[in-house]
């Protein structure tokens, strides 16, 4: 990926941070967005720069339509182009159906669906042949093991349709679109030693949580030249959670 420029939304921690570092190891210059994690985002930038790549931290709230698309523009202006968009940012609200407010619905759909759509739309307008749009979904689009995930699963399921439609719309321009579904992944938001971790691990075929670097490895493959004939596809990195 030498000479390529990537944007990873929500790239200040977890899967996003691991993805940004992996893309830099593959040769890309990388911008990451954050909302509250400025220090964490700056740590990621320092990690990118230690690998000899350019890094950029941008504050952008994907719930704001102007900021969701604006992050793409700001990345291209600062780093010279945009070749890869990783739609990683998301709101993971899990709660009983009857407890969800209209504000909850609006926030989750604004970040998880509208923000991803607008970022993808803005990226597509700037990408040339070989462009990549990779979206992070969830294993809960394949299997919802219990109550509480209605809103989250709804929002992430919409991204499957978006991905397949993008693949058709952009294919004649040599731009691919794919979606990756992580299972239980050891992150700050869902630690492998958390109160519900044992139950989540037991639902996988491998009996363990995955790591952010394992997800990042698949994203890096989809962003690279070897995946030029892969588009409109769903990939699970879930340890057999949906098997």
User: Active-site residues: which are they?
Assistant: 152
Contacts for 84 with CB less than 8 Å, ≥ 6 apart:
1, 4, 5, 6, 7, 23, 28, 131, 132, 133, 134, 223
Dist CA 37 CA 25 (whole Å): 23
Tokens standing for residue 12: 């200040």
Write the DSSP symbol of residue 211: -
CA nearest 10: which of 61, 77, 74? 61
Long-range CB contacts (< 8 A, 24+ apart) of 155-160? 155/90, 155/91, 155/108, 155/109, 155/112, 155/113, 156/90, 156/112, 158/112, 158/113, 159/87, 159/112, 159/113, 159/116, 159/135, 160/234
Pairing between strand 176-182 and 234-237? parallel
CB atoms within 10 A of CB 209: 21
3-state DSSP assignment of residue 189? coil
Cβ proximity of 33 and 60 under 8 Å: yes
Tokens standing for residue 9: 């939304």
């Amino acid at each position: 990926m030498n000479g390529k420029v990537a944007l990873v939304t929500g790239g200040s921690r977890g899967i996003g941070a691991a993805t940004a570092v992996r893309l830099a190891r593959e040769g890309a210059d990388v911008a990451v967005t954050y909302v509250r994690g400025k220090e964490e985002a700056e740590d990621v930038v320092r990690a990118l720069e230690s690998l000899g790549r350019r890094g950029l931290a941008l504050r952008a709230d994907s719930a704001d339509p102007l900021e969701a698309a604006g992050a793409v523009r700001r990345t291209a202006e600062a780093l010279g182009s945009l070749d890869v968009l990783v739609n990683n940012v998301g709101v993971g609200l899990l709660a009983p159906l009857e407890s969800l407010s209209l504000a909850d619905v609006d926030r989750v759909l604004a970040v998880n669906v509208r923000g991803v759509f607008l970022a993808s739309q803005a990226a597509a307008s700037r990408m040339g042949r070989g462009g990549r749009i990779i979206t992070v979904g969830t294993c809960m689009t394949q299997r919802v093991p219990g109550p509480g995930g209605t809103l989250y699963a709804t929002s992430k399921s919409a991204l499957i349709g978006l991905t397949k439609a993008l693949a058709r719309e952009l294919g004649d321009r040599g731009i691919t679109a794919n979606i990756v579904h992580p299972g239980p992944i050891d992150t700050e938001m869902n630690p492998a030693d958390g109160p519900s971790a044992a139950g989540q691990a037991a639902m996988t075929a491998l009996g363990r949580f995955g790591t952010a670097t394992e997800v990042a490895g698949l994203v890096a493959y989809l962003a690279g030249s070897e995946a030029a004939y892969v588009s409109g596809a769903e990939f699970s990195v879930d340890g057999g959670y949906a098997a």
